Structure formats: C-alpha cells, structure tokens
C-alpha cells in the first residue's frame, strides 16, 4: 500500500507542477468568474442561469483535465524512459498502473475541490450558500471523472497521446449520448442497426447516469437510490476498465 501511495503522490506532484494544468485551471476559474456576468444579460431566473453556467464549467474543465492528463499517463513514462527505473524495482506492472491512476484521481479531486470552493465563495457573494445537492453532484462528477480517467489510462497503455485522446474523446462523447443511442436502437428499422446500437449502449459507459446538473441547478432532491446506483455503476465500470489497462500493460514489452 505504501508503494502505491508513493507512486500516486509522485504522479500527482508531477501533474501539479505541470504548467499546462495551470493554464486549463486558469480558464476554468475565468469561466467560473465570468458566469456571474451572465446574470447581467439574462432575462428571467438569473440565479438559475448563473448556477447552470458555473456548474457546467466545472464539469467541462474537470473532463478536459482528466482527458489531458490521462491520455499521456503511461505513454509519457515509457517515452521518457522514466518507467525503466520504476519497473526494475519490486513493483508489479498492475501496481504501477494503479499508482499512476490514483495519482491522477488525487489531482482531479484537488482540482474539483478548488473549483467547488471558488463556486461556493462566488455564490455566497452573489446569492446564498449553494444547496446540498450541488455538492452531491460534485461527488457523482468525481465518479464520472474517475471512469473517464480509467478509459484514458487504458488507451495510454498501448497508444500515443494523440490516438489515446481521440479514443477517449470518442468514449466521452458517445458516453454522453448513451440514452440517445438506446432510443435510436429502438426506433431503427434494420435489425443490424438495432443490434449495433444495443452493443454500443452496453459496451460503452453511460456518463449521463452521473449527471445531477439539473437537480443541482434547480435545487431538486436526488433519490439516494439514484445516487448510490450511479456510484456503484461507476465503481464497477472503473474497476473493469482499470483491470483491462493493468492486463494490457502487464503484457507490454518496454523497448
């Protein structure tokens, strides 16, 4: 456990010292602050619109950082050959992948916590303390980011960052269209199309399951069954994808 933690902390430290991360974070903070300006040009329920834009920006930039850091997570270690001095120590391949992954999750958690703290301060200044459901939505957002990171990690174990980014983006987009794919499958005339849509639906993640944005923006209650269901789905799916990433990397020769 200590060794996994050492790998995770080192990965997180490396990511935190990466200047590109700050650039993305800077944009995220900028959009979050600018969301207040939206109030001035909005007719109607201004508070809801501000919350919606702010919440959306946290979701979006969280996903961008997860993809950006995840797609090069393992590849960069191989490309820069830093992996040689780690795997020649008593570190199994699965432990290396897990440690790197957890380091990235730790970084994402810090980043989301920072943005949520800023969001809270802005809301306190402009309106009032955000409702509890906002924080619940951040928990499910983290579950979504963990799953997205697991996919990025998997692609990173066998492809270049560009290819991994394309694959991860595809999973991200399809994952947010999962319900539409299901609908499309039901309405398709051809049986082949129906089968293809169902295979896609079940094989790829359904990121919409994690989204509590509407509830958070409109302060609607979230049934615990939905909350726990999303978290259990995320945990199971993340474990499966991460296990696959470990298996792929375990078979890889380091040339």
Q: Where on the chain is the footprint of other proteins (CB under 8 A)?
A: 2-3, 6-7, 10, 13-14, 17-18, 80-82, 84-92, 253-255
Alpha-carbon separation of residue 194 from 22, 112, 182 (angstroms): 44, 38, 9
User: Which residue lies nearer to other proteins by CB, 89 or 189?
Assistant: 89
CB-wise, 194 or 243, nearer to other proteins? Answer: 243
Q: Closest distance between other proteins and the C-beta of residue 170, in Å?
A: 24
Residue 111 CB, nearest approach to other proteins (Å): 17
Cβ proximity to other proteins, 4 vs 136, nearer residue: 4
Smallest separation, CB 68 to other proteins (Å): 17
- State which residue, 80 or 225, has the beta carbon closest to other proteins: 80
Tokens of 142: 């983290």
Is 158 or 233 the residue whose CB approaches other proteins more closely?
A: 158
Cβ 95 to other proteins shortest distance, Å:
8
Smallest distance from the beta carbon of 58 to other proteins, in angstroms? 27
What is the maximum span of the chain, computed from C-alpha positions, in angstroms? 62
* Closer by beta carbon to other proteins, 75 or else 172: 75
- The secondary structure of the chain, three-state, reads CHHHHHHHHHHHHHHHCCHHHHHHHHHHHHHHHHHHHHHHHCCCCHHHHHHHHHHHHHHHHHHHHHHHHHCCCCHHHHHCCCCHHHHCCCCCHHHHHHHHHHHHHHHHHHHHHHHHHHHHHHHHHHCCCCCHHHHHHHHHHHHHHHHHHHHHHHHHCCCCHHHHHHHHHHHHHHHHCHHHHHHHHHHCCCHHHHHHHHHHHHHCCCHHHHCCHHHHHHCCCCCHHHHHHHHHHHHHHHHHHHHHHHHHHHCCCCC
> Minimum distance between the CB of residue 154 and other proteins, rounded to whole angstroms?
21
Taking residue 24's Cβ as centre, other Cβ atoms within 10 Å add up to 17
Name which of 14 and 215 has its Cβ closer to other proteins.
14
Q: Shortest gap between Cβ of 245 and other proteins (angstroms)? A: 18
Instruction: Give which of 163, 166, 156, 172 is closest to 69, Cα–Cα.
Output: 156
């Amino acid at each position: 456990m200590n060794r996994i933690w050492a790998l995770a902390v080192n990965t997180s430290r490396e990511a935190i010292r990466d200047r590109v991360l700050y650039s993305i974070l800077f944009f995220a903070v900028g959009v979050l602050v600018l969301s207040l300006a939206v109030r001035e040009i909005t007719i109607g329920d201004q508070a809801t619109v501000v919350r919606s834009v702010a919440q959306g920006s946290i979701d979006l930039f969280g996903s961008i950082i997860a993809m950006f850091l995840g797609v090069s997570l393992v590849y960069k270690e191989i490309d820069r050959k830093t992996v040689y001095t780690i795997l020649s120590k008593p570190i199994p391949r699965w432990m290396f992948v897990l440690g790197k992954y957890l380091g990235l999750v730790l970084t994402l958690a810090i980043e989301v916590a920072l943005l949520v703290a800023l969001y809270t301060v802005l809301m306190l200044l402009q309106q009032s303390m955000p409702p509890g459901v906002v924080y619940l939505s951040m928990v499910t957002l983290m579950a979504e980011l963990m799953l997205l990171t697991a996919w990025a990690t998997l692609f990173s174990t066998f492809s270049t960052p560009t290819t991994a980014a394309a694959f991860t983006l595809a999973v991200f987009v399809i994952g947010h269209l999962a319900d539409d794919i299901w609908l499309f499958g039901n309405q398709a005339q051809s049986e082949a199309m129906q089968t293809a849509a169902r295979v896609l639906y079940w094989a790829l993640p359904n990121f919409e399951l994690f989204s509590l944005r509407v509830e958070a923006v409109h302060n609607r209650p979230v049934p615990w069954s939905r909350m726990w269901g999303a978290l259990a789905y995320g945990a199971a799916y993340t474990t499966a994808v991460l296990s696959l990433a470990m298996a792929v990397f375990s078979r890889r020769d380091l040339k």
